Amino acid sequence: MTTAPYNYSYIFKYIIIGDMGVGKSCLLHQFTEKKFMADCPHTIGVEFGTRIIEVSGQKVKLQIWDTAGQERFRAVTRSYYRGAAGALMVYDITRRSTYNHLSSWLTDARNLTNPNTVIILIGNKADLEAQRDVTYEEAKQFAEENGLLFLEASAKTGENVEDAFLEAAKKIYQNIQDGSLDLNAAESGVQHKPTAPQGGRLSSDAQPPKEGCSC
């Protein structure tokens, strides 16, 4: 019997941002628990969720930080962009104001993350077609102009929720393959683990080769 020595080979850090009430926590909950929370309280500060997914045959652990959209937490949540490999920027397709605020969220995301942080725009509550206030085409264009991935999703029905997280992961993985993402550096938002088990030996030099040139 051979149990895999490791549960996953990469960790990607994600952050979910966007106005309050757009459904950030619901998206996370749907992704990690496959359930919809009808009465979700406002997030206080920042919450945390994880799930292991597979990207191109590699096990990847997503470590997801769900931020509060309420204005009073803005200063606090800004500290969590640091070192995120992926950012899910969410608006509510039934509330135009949440779409209008995207540029401010995008500014924060650009200023506070790495240049190669993958940002995906998500139009949530796609199930409420009758109340739609932002067209797909319009948001798509905004995404293209800003070089963002884009999907409309519904935390309620689960539609595209899985894809939203996966698409971003695929892009990050691609960046790793390209070499545009430096794995060995701390706080790149991505952590890679050696695939060889280290055995039961006492190792005094068990540190990752972090000292890679950074100048």
Partner 1 sequence: MAEIKAELSTDTSNLHISNSSGNVSSQSNNPLSRKLNKILETRLDNDKEMLEALKSLSVFFMENSLRTRRNLRGDIERRSLSINEEFVRIFKEVKEELESVHEDVHAMSNCCEEMTNRLKAAKEQTQDLIVKTNKLQGENHRLEVRSQVAQAFLSKFQLSAAEMGTLRSARHGPITEDFFRALTRVKNIHEDVKVLLRTNQQTAGLEIMEQMAVLQETAYEQLYRWAQNECRGLTQETCDIPEVLSQAMEALQERPVLYKYTLDEFGTARRSSVVRGFIDALTRGGPGGTPRPIEMHSHDPMRYVGDMLAWLHQATASEKEHLEALLKQVTIQGVEENMQEVVGHITEGVCRPLKVRIEQVIVAEPGAVLLYKLSNLLKFYHHTISGIIGTSVSSLLMTMDEMHMLSKKMFFNSLSLHASRLMDKVELPPPDLGPTASLTQTLSLLREVLASHDSSVLPLDTRQADFAQVLSCILDPLLQLCTVSASNLGTADMATYMVNSLYIMKTTLALFEFTDKRLEMLEFQIEAHLDTLINEQATYVLTRAALTHIYSCVQQHTIEQGPLANLPGMDSTSLKTAMVQFDRYLASPDTLLMPQLNFLLSAAIKDQIFKQSTELVCRAYGEMYKAVTNPVNGYKEPESVLHRSPQQVQTLLS
Ligand X SMILES: Nc1nc2c(ncn2[C@@H]2O[C@H](COP(=O)(O)OP(=O)(O)OP(=O)(O)O)[C@@H](O)[C@H]2O)c(=O)[nH]1
What is the binding site for ligand X (CB under 6 A)? 20-26, 38-40, 42-43, 68-70, 124-125, 127-128, 154-156
Residue 77 found at the interface with Mg ion (CB under 5 A): no
Q: What is the smallest separation between the CB atom of 193 and ligand X, expressed in angstroms?
A: 31
- Report d(CA 139, CA 154) in Å as an integer: 16
Binding partner selected for residue 206 from partner 1, Mg ion, ligand X, none, CB under the kind-specific 5 to 8 Å limit: partner 1
Q: Between residues 51 and 132, which has the closer beta carbon with respect to partner 1?
A: 51
Which 128-147 positions form the footprint of Mg ion (CB under 5 A)?
Answer: none
Q: Which of 20, 32, 37, 83 binds partner 1 (CB under 8 A)?
A: 83
Residue 25 found at the interface with Mg ion (CB under 5 A): yes
Q: Which residues bind partner 1 (CB under 8 A)?
A: 1, 3-8, 11, 44-46, 48, 50, 61, 63, 65, 71-73, 75-76, 78-83, 112-115, 182, 185-188, 191-193, 197-203, 206-208, 210, 214
